[in-house]
Amino acid sequence: MLDIPKFESVEKRREWFINNKSMLLTEKKTQFKTADIVNYIPKGAAVKAVNKATNKLTVKAAINTVNVLDSHGDVHLKGIWNKTVKENKSPYLLQEHKMAFDSIISDKVTPSVANISWSDLGIKAVGSTEVLMFEAEIEKERNEFMFNQYKNGWVRNHSVGMQYVKIKLAVNDSEMKEEYEEWEKTYNNIINKEQAEKLGYYFTVYEAKMIEGSAVPIGSNSVTPTLETKDNEPSKDTQKEKPSVDTSQMMNRFL
């Protein structure tokens, strides 16, 4: 993988990207990428009480959100998941991106794309984001360890395993016409703009191929919680809430 260095000046950055842009975009599209998240529970996340005797749970989880600059320097854009959700109608829900039989949490998964406000995800930002959602049936017999993690409300974050299909480079440099146009086109929709300004560039992802979704303890995109867990037998519902997290405070951990 071609590492992006720290630049001493705008001129040095411009020169480096001009010389390496084609190779960078090709490498990003050929890699298997995981967009992990941090340990975070959103305000208003519903964790419904489960029957202790149940052997099945239904989980609704946010697997990925758009318009967040992650620690890889990538920004997923609106519409990124539309095509792949239609094509891959039953992806795996895995434990920490391990594609192995003992790490499969569920193969009974329905993916979808939903529009959810930042405030409903516990983020202090105006507007909404597109969310890649998984609704999964989890059986105790399939993966007892992860079944209990969900049952106890301990799975706070998720991640998508993917491959980029359509990607561009955005640079805050008016001397780079094409890249600067991409910056101006996308910058205003990013919720962690301070980090984008500090970095001075990012990669915009218009389409990605979803390979799997995973439960993870920590990572780079911080807005992918478990939204709901319920057993598949009648039980009395309860709801737990955690305080919201300030966006700038949350993102500063990574950039």
Long-range CB pairs of 23-29, under 8 A, 24+ apart, other chains included: 24/169, 24/203, 25/167, 25/168, 25/169, 25/203, 27/1, 27/2, 28/74, 28/164, 28/167, 28/203, 29/163, 29/164, 29/165, 29/167
Q: Does residue 11 belong to any structural domain of this protein?
A: no
Q: List the structure tokens of 1.
A: 């993988």
Residue 119 belongs to some domain of the structure: yes
**Within a domain: 15:** no
Number of domains in the chain: 1
Q: How far apart are CA 117 and CA 111, in angstroms?
A: 19
Q: Is 140 a member of any domain?
A: yes
Residue 124 lies in a domain: yes
7 within a domain of the structure (yes/no): no
Taking a C-beta distance cutoff of 8 angstroms, is the pair 48, 235 a contact? yes
**Structural domain span for residue 177:** 32-251
- pTM beyond 0.95: the answer is no
What is d(CA 159, CA 38) in angstroms, rounded to the nearest whole number? 10
Tell me if 196 is assigned to some domain. Answer: yes
- Relative to beta strand 92-95, strand 201-216 is parallel
Per-residue confidence (pLDDT) for residue 50, from 0 to 100:
52
The predicted-structure confidence for 24-67, as pLDDT tens digits, reads as follows: 999 999 999 887 453 333 443 334 445 556 799 999 998 999 99
Enumerate residue ranges in the chain where pLDDT < 70.
1-2, 36-53, 218-255
Q: Render pLDDT for 115-133 as a digit per residue (tens, 0 to 9).
A: 998 888 777 888 999 999 9
Q: Looking at the domain assignment, is residue 197 inside a domain?
A: yes
